[in-house]
A and B are shown apart, each in its own frame.
Chain A
Amino acid sequence: MPIISIRDLVVEYDGRRILDGLNLDVEPGETMVLLGGSGSGKSTLLRQIIALERPKSGSVIVKGVDITRCSAAELKKVRHSIGVAFQSAALFNSLSVKDNVALPLREHTRLAPSIIDLMVWMKLAVVGLADFGKLLPSELSGGMKKRGAVARALALDPEILVLDEPSAGLDPIVAAELDELILLLKQAFQMTVVVVTHEMPSAFRIADRIAMLHQGKFVSVGTKDDIGTSQDPHVRHFLDRIPERMANATAVAAHFEQYLHNQETHQ
C-alpha cells in the first residue's frame, strides 16, 4: 500500500491551472524525486503533499488519510509523521540551530530537557552539525543551513522526509554532500523521501524513481533508467538541456527598432 497516494489532483490559481489531474503513488521506503523545470508545478505539488494548500479537486492520501479533506486533528497527526526541509531552510532566525531542532520536541513531547538536549545533539551529529548547535542561522553557510533544516525535519523521527530543492544555490561539492546525506538517512532510518529538484545529477544520484513534471502534468514516471532512456520530447529536452525558446537576434533588433520608432512618433 503506497504511503503517499495522489489522485486526480487539480490546482488552480486565479483560474490558471497549475496542476492538471496528477496521479502518483509513493511506496514506503522509496526515494521519489519530483523533477521539472521552473514553473512546471513541482513546488506546488510539494505544498499539496505537505497540506499547505488545498486543491481545486482530487485527493492527496498520506498514510491512509486524505489530507485535503481531513479534520484539523487528523492533519496534525499526519504532520507528526512528515518532516519538511524548505528550499530557504526556513530556520527561525531568532533561535540557535540547537533550539531550532529542539522546537518540535519541546512542543510535541513531554521529554525532560536533558533528553531533548541529547536527541538534538544526535540529530545534529547525523547531519554533521554537532559542533555548530550554539550558532544562529545567520552565522551558518548555505549548505549548513540546509543541513540544519534537515536535522529539524528529523527531530520527531518522521516516516516521510520531504525536501524542497535541497541542492539549489549550493556549489557542486556541498550539493554532493547533501545527496550523500539523503542516501545515508534513507539507509539508516528506512525513510520515505520525497525530493523536489531540477538538478539532474542530484536526482539521478538519490532517486529510486523519478516523476518528471511539465506544465502541471507528469510526462514520465519511472526508475532512473526509464527516465534516462525515455524518448518523450519534454524529458529529452530537459535531460539534454535543449532550450524550448531560442533567443533570436533579428527579432530582438526588430523589436527595438519598432520601440524607437514609436517613441519618435509620440514626440
Chain B
Amino acid sequence: MTNVLENVGKRSLNELDYVGSLNIQFWSTLRAMKSALPFVGNRYRWQATVRQMLQIGYDALPMVSLMAICMGFILAMQGASELRRFGALQYVVGLVAVGFTRELGPLLTAIAVSGRSGSAFAAEIGTMKVTEELDSLRVMALEPIEFVLAPKYLAALISVPCLTIISNSFGIVAGGLFMFFSTRLAPLLYLRYVLESIALRDVITGLIKSVAFATIIAHVGCLEGFLVRGGPDSVGRSTTRAVVKSTFLVIVADAVFTAIFYFTVRS
C-alpha cells in the first residue's frame, strides 16, 4: 500500500514538475517573441520564422486538406444515414458546417500538426541537445528559447489558424459534394445554407481553439526536445512522447474550451 501511495505521489510530482516547466517555458517564450517578429525583431530570426511557417503550414497543406475532405464526407454520410430516417436531410448542411468550424477543423488540423511538426520540433531540439548545439548557442550568449523556440512558436501561431481555415473550407466543400451527389442540392444553394448555419462566433471560437492548440503543440514538442538526456535513442523516445502528450493535451484543451464556449457563448 505504501508503495502504491509512493508511486502515485511520485508520478503526481513528476506531472506537476512537467506542467511547471511548460509554464516557465511559455512565459519565457512570450518575453522572447519580440525578437522573432518582422520589422521590430532580429531580421535573421524573422527569416527562421518564415521557414518554420512554410514547414508547419505549407508543407502540411496536402495532408490537412485530404484529411478534411475525408472527414467532411464521413460526417455528411454518418449524419445523413440518421437524419434521413426523420426526413431531415437538409440538416446535414448545418451539421457539417457548424461541426467543422467549431470542432473538427481545429481538432483535425491540430492532430495533423502534432504528428508532423510537434514530433519534428522534439527531434530537432533533442538532436541539437545531443550534439551540443544548444550548449554552443549558450556559450555564444544566445538563449535557445529566443533562438530556437520563439520562431517556432510564432510560426505555429500563424500557420495553425490558417490551416484550420483551409481545413474548414475543404470539410465543408466535401459536405457539399456529398449533398450534390446524394440529393442533387445545387452548390450555390448549399453555400447559402452553410452561410445561414454558421455564425461569426463559430468561426472565432474555432480559431481561438486553434491558437490554443498551436501553443500546446509548439511548447510540448520543444519541451520534450529540451528534456532529452543521453544519446540518440533518447531523441526517439522524446519524439514519441511529444506526439502522445500534445495530442492528449489538445483533446483535453478542446473539451475545456468547448465547455467554456457552451456555457458562456450561447446562441
- A residues at B contact (CB < 8 Å): 50-52, 75-76, 79-80, 82, 84, 86-88, 90-93, 103-104, 106-108, 152
CB distance from B228 to the nearest CB of A (A): 15
CB distance from B16 to the nearest CB of A (A): 21
Neighbouring A residues of B10 by C-beta, 8 Å: none
Neighbouring A residues of B42 by C-beta, 8 Å: 107
Q: Is the CB of B141 within 8 A of A52?
A: no
Can you report 25 A-B residue pairs in the complex whose CB atoms are below 8 A from each other? A50-B139, A75-B141, A79-B138, A79-B139, A79-B140, A79-B141, A82-B139, A86-B135, A86-B136, A87-B132, A88-B132, A90-B131, A90-B133, A90-B135, A92-B128, A93-B131, A93-B133, A103-B140, A104-B140, A107-B44, A107-B142, A107-B147, A108-B140, A108-B141, A152-B136
Neighbouring A residues of B142 by C-beta, 8 Å: 103-104, 107
B136-152: CB near A (< 8 Å → 1, else 0) gives 10111110000100000
Give Cα A78–Cα B103 distance, bound, in whole angstroms: 51
B115-136: CB near A (< 8 Å → 1, else 0) gives 0000000000000100111011
Give Cα A86–Cα B140 distance, bound, in whole angstroms: 12
With beta carbons under 8 angstroms apart, the residue of B128, B131, B135 that contacts A52 is B135
Q: Closest B-chain residue to A102, C-beta based?
A: B44
Give Cα A255–Cα B131 distance, bound, in whole angstroms: 38
Inter-chain residue pair count (beta carbon < 8 A) = 45
Give Cα A50–Cα B142 distance, bound, in whole angstroms: 13
Q: Closest B-chain residue to A87, C-beta based?
A: B132
Size of B's binding interface in residues, CB under 8 A: 14
Q: Is the CB of B135 within 8 A of A92?
A: no
Q: Closest A-chain residue to B142, C-beta based?
A: A107
Give Cα A88–Cα B133 distance, bound, in whole angstroms: 9
With beta carbons under 8 angstroms apart, the residue of B44, B128, B131, B136 that contacts A84 is B136
Q: Closest A-chain residue to B45, C-beta based?
A: A107
Which residues 129-180 of B have a CB within 8 angstroms of A?
131-133, 135-136, 138-142, 147
Give Cα A262–Cα B86 distance, bound, in whole angstroms: 74
Q: Is the CB of A90 within 8 A of B141?
A: no
With beta carbons under 8 angstroms apart, the residue of A51, A90, A107 that contacts B136 is A90
Give Cα A82–Cα B142 distance, bound, in whole angstroms: 13
Give Cα A260–Cα B111 distance, bound, in whole angstroms: 52
Give Cα A93–Cα B128 distance, bound, in whole angstroms: 9
9 tightest Cβ-Cβ pairs between the two chains A and B:
A90-B132, A90-B136, A79-B141, A84-B139, A76-B141, A86-B132, A104-B140, A90-B133, A50-B139
Neighbouring A residues of B135 by C-beta, 8 Å: 52, 86, 90
Neighbouring A residues of B132 by C-beta, 8 Å: 86-88, 90
Give Cα A267–Cα B212 distance, bound, in whole angstroms: 58
With beta carbons under 8 angstroms apart, the residue of A80, A86, A106 that contacts B141 is A80
CB distance from A33 to the nearest CB of B (A): 20
Neighbouring A residues of B140 by C-beta, 8 Å: 79, 103-104, 107-108
CB distance from B139 to the nearest CB of A (A): 4
Neighbouring B residues of A84 by C-beta, 8 Å: 136, 139
Give Cα A88–Cα B139 distance, bound, in whole angstroms: 15
Q: Closest B-chain residue to A72, C-beta based?
A: B143
Neighbouring A residues of B136 by C-beta, 8 Å: 84, 86, 90, 92, 152
Give Cα A80–Cα B140 distance, bound, in whole angstroms: 7
CB distance from A161 to the nearest CB of B (A): 12
Give Cα A106–Cα B139 distance, bound, in whole angstroms: 15
Q: Closest B-chain residue to A75, C-beta based?
A: B141
CB distance from B37 to the nearest CB of A (A): 16
CB distance from B262 to the nearest CB of A (A): 44
